[in-house]
Amino acid sequence: MTAVLFDFSGTLFRVESTEAWLRAVLAAAEAALTEPEFTKTAQALEAAGALPGGAFPQHIPAELAEVWEVRDQTPEEHRAAYTGLSRQVPLPDPGLHDALYERHMSPDAWAPYPDAAEVLGALRERGVGIGVVSNIGWDLRPVFRAHGLDQYVDTYALSYEHGIRKPDPRLFAAACADLGADPREVLMVGDDRRADGGATALGCAVHFVDHLPADRRPDGLRPVLDLIR
């Protein structure tokens, strides 16, 4: 293998819990909920799937169905989809829905998996090209910079910048082209079998990891080092 492509959320990074997300926004806004209200609200936001990178929505409201399908193709559609889900849940101030969305784009809302730096560093030492291919509606590069992982990444292929989303093979092809890599010599690493599995249409090999909280997956990326020997 001459290059490895990685998904972002659930693969290299994990977003904070819904509880931590909500608590941070309430604290910043100096807004308060009683503990029972907080628990109920966090559970409702979790069920709604309002946290990007968190739990998948248990139900997509009919009025959001169309924008949900294209949520990763533009920043505007991404924001509309997720703030729309958030607004299914009452909050003390309507402005908190936008604050929640802004919070999820903060580097503080994300943690790299424990072995991410080790694996990316080892790949770099071996001269393997590294790309990030993500379905996303905002620029994740600041997250990588804040956590010191941008130094390992050679290219980013982000859905909102190309107007296409995984599993469309064109997004993987764009990353391969940037790396100057033959797709047949590229490994795609991700947590979504449908989306990330789209790389196989180009001839890429694919390796899947489990989308778990960071502290429950300490070494899920290390098998990648064996696969590219």
Task: Write out pLDDT tens, residues 116-172.
Answer: 999 999 999 999 999 999 999 999 999 999 999 999 999 999 999 999 999 999 999
**Calpha distance 91→101 (Å, rounded):** 13
Predicted structure pTM score: 0.96
Report domain 3-14+110-227's class.
alpha beta
Domain spans, the chain: 3-14+110-227, 16-109
pLDDT digits (tens, 9 = 90+) for 38-79: 999 999 999 999 999 999 999 999 999 999 999 999 999 999
Q: Please answer whether residues 3 and 131 qualify as being in contact, where contact means their C-beta atoms are separated by less than 8 angstroms.
A: yes
**Calpha distance 25→39 (Å, rounded):** 15
In this structure, the strands spanning 3-6 and 205-208 are: unpaired
- Residue 132's pLDDT is what? 98
**Calpha distance 48→57 (Å, rounded):** 5
